[in-house]
């Protein structure tokens, strides 16, 4: 802090501090809802933004297509199957009174069904785990961007 500012502070003259503070605040202008393309340019058109969200999610969930060479004599340890206890735990952790997903099935329904729901979900999850193929409906999502202050 410069000597001039210290003297102003001692005199309780806060105007220069307030002026500098206001100046700093004014330099940042958040762009609410701005989405950038792969090159970092802002997208303004609704269709471009939707296209970018689609690209982003496809890249995010893209299946790893690299093949594994097992002809070198090494063994590959596969992941264990999904356990019933894991399904039960996931259902217990699921919060109540939350908006359902695109399937419109509330979490409470799975909890009410108890062991029956666990068995059905376990069979579905194990099938997905083994085949590495997501059901078509599970690939659909609803994205609702929520702007955060300052971004």
Higher-confidence position of 99 and 142:
99
141 falls within a domain: no
DSSP H or E segment with residue 55: helix 46-60
Is residue 123 assigned to a domain? yes
Residue 4 in domain: yes
Inside any domain, residue 110: yes
Residue numbers of the domain that contains 95? 84-133
Q: What mean pLDDT is reported for the chain?
A: 77
Q: What is the pLDDT, as a whole number, of residue 76?
A: 64
Contact 44, 31 (CB under 8 A): no
Over residues 92-114, the mean pLDDT reads 86
Q: SS in 3 state form for 58-119?
A: HHHCCCCCCCCCCCCCCCCCCCCCCCHHHHHHHHHHCCCCCCCCCCCCCHHHHHHHCHHHHH
Mean pLDDT on 105-116: 88
Which range in 55-64, 69-78, 119-128 is most confidently predicted, on average pLDDT?
119-128
What would the pLDDT profile of 3-55 be if each residue is shown by its tens digit?
A: 666 665 566 667 777 777 777 766 555 555 578 888 888 888 888 888 888 88
Q: How many domains does the chain have?
A: 2
Residue 67 falls inside a structural domain: no
DSSP letter for 136, please.
Answer: G
* 62 found inside a domain: no
Instruction: Tell me if 144 is assigned to some domain.
Output: no
Instruction: Name 81's bridge partners.
Output: none
Is residue 20 included in any domain, yes or no? yes
């Amino acid at each position: 802090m410069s000597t001039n500012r210290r003297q102003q502070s001692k005199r309780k003259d806060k105007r220069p501090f307030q002026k500098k503070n206001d100046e700093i605040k004014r330099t940042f202008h958040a762009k609410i809802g701005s989405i950038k393309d792969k090159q970092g340019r802002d997208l303004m058109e609704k269709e471009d933004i939707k296209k970018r969200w689609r690209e982003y999610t496809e890249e995010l969930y893209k299946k790893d297509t690299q093949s594994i060479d097992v002809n070198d004599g090494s063994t590959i340890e596969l992941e264990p199957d999904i356990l019933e206890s894991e399904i039960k735990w996931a259902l217990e952790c699921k919060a109540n009174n939350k908006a359902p997903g695109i399937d419109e099935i509330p979490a409470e329904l799975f909890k009410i069904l108890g062991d029956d729901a666990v068995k059905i979900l376990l069979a579905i999850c194990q099938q997905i785990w083994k085949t590495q193929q997501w059901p078509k409906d599970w690939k659909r999502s609803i994205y609702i961007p929520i702007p955060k202050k300052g971004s």
